[in-house]
A = this chain, B = another copy of it.
Amino acid sequence: MANMVDVAKMADVSISTVSHVLNGTRHVQPETRQRVIDAIERTGYRQDALARALRRARTDSIGLVVSDAGEPAFAEMVHGVESAAVEHGLTLLLANSAEDADREERAVETLLDRRVDGLILARAAGSEPAILQSLGDEKTPVVLLDRLYSELPFDQVGADNRDSMRRLTDHLVAAGHRRFVVVSGDARVPTLQERVDGFRDALWAARVPYEEQVVIDDVDPAVARAQLASALESGGITCVIACSTPLAAMALETLGRAGLTTPRDVAFATFDGFAHPDLFEPRITTVRQPAFDMGVAAVRLLVERMASAESSPRIVRLRQTLELRGSTEDHDLRQVRP
């Protein structure tokens, strides 16, 4: 591969002139410039991003660590981040922690070693906030995505989970529901915890006793499944809310095995949900994250932070949409009516 020296020789100029032509960083005589351009053409020269980055002390790249690349919501965020990154002339380095704290830490270190100009982080469930502390000491800007830690001094982009859950629950309570199962998933995940909080908010406002509700937050899917099954068996439950797509899938399967149909036997709603929800039955009421836009917003915050390190951290909460569908309608609430 040709390098700048080759080009300089062929154009009979100094290597710095080549550099300046390439980067438009100072004026060069049109004819000289043309000679350089021709030489570049003829040698097939391409700038070496590595050497350039080493010298400039910036790579024009950002790192993204997601906690579960397999989940559709995260896949969409990745998509959004990539899209916004190219828009800003940044290359994306992608890593997946698979909800594993160690892998997350290694991924972050790898990306920092590669000198990414910024880092977007959707943290793994079991990951200690302490790791972030050390990250805060680094000079590399960090944006937290989806899983937020408001008490930490980072730029953050998430969804209005608490409020959305409250809106959803308000609706369900208004429809007459008094006995819920919330399949919340790992309580260490802030996103999920916020959703449970919103649930409590709504019940409190409606004077519905929280103690009579079943909140399943076991980390082990098999255990959660068993708990859901037994809760359904014990009777009285009129509505199930799942806090993520995998949990929704688990819950729907459990309902099926218990011989229960949505919405006839029990109402059902979920966060994140499934693709093309209007094409299939049951049509599931869903609180949907603007996942792509969250990715885009994260990049925007990151780019702004890269431009100016000073300025206090900002937390952006994007609004989720409450998509009401058949799974929370028309079912039989006689058993809970007075």
Taking Cβ atoms with an 8 Å cutoff, the residues of A that contact B are 46-51, 53-54, 59, 61, 69-70, 72, 75-76, 78-79, 82-83, 86, 91-96, 103, 107, 109-115, 245, 249, 252-253, 256, 274-276, 279-282
Least CB separation from A54: chain B residue: B50
Shortest Cβ distance from residue A327 to the other chain B in the assembled complex, whole angstroms: 11
Shortest Cβ distance from residue A317 to the other chain B in the assembled complex, whole angstroms: 24
Find out whether the CB atom of A46 lies under 8 angstroms from the CB atom of B112: yes
CA gap between A75 and B86 in the complex, in Å:
18
CA gap between A70 and B107 in the complex, in Å:
24
Q: Which residues of B contact A53 (CB under 8 A)?
A: 50
Q: 30 A-B residue contacts at CB 8 Å? A: A46-B109, A46-B113, A48-B54, A48-B115, A49-B113, A49-B115, A51-B54, A54-B54, A69-B79, A69-B82, A70-B76, A72-B75, A75-B78, A82-B94, A82-B96, A86-B95, A86-B103, A86-B107, A91-B93, A91-B111, A92-B95, A93-B94, A249-B275, A256-B279, A274-B274, A274-B275, A274-B276, A280-B281, A280-B282, A281-B282
Q: Which residues of B contact A107 (CB under 8 A)?
A: 86
Q: Which residues of B contact A115 (CB under 8 A)?
A: 48-50
Q: Which residues of B contact A50 (CB under 8 A)?
A: 50, 53-54, 59, 114-115
Find out whether the CB atom of B279 lies under 8 angstroms from the CB atom of A249: yes
Least CB separation from A256: chain B residue: B279
Q: Which residues of B contact A275 (CB under 8 A)?
A: 72, 245, 249, 274-275
Least CB separation from A64: chain B residue: B94
Least CB separation from A284: chain B residue: B280
Q: Which residues of B contact A47 (CB under 8 A)?
A: 113
Q: Which residues of B contact A76 (CB under 8 A)?
A: 70
13 more contacts with CB within 8 A, not counting A75-B78, A91-B110, are A49-B114, A50-B59, A50-B115, A61-B114, A69-B83, A70-B76, A82-B94, A83-B96, A91-B93, A249-B279, A253-B279, A274-B274, A274-B280
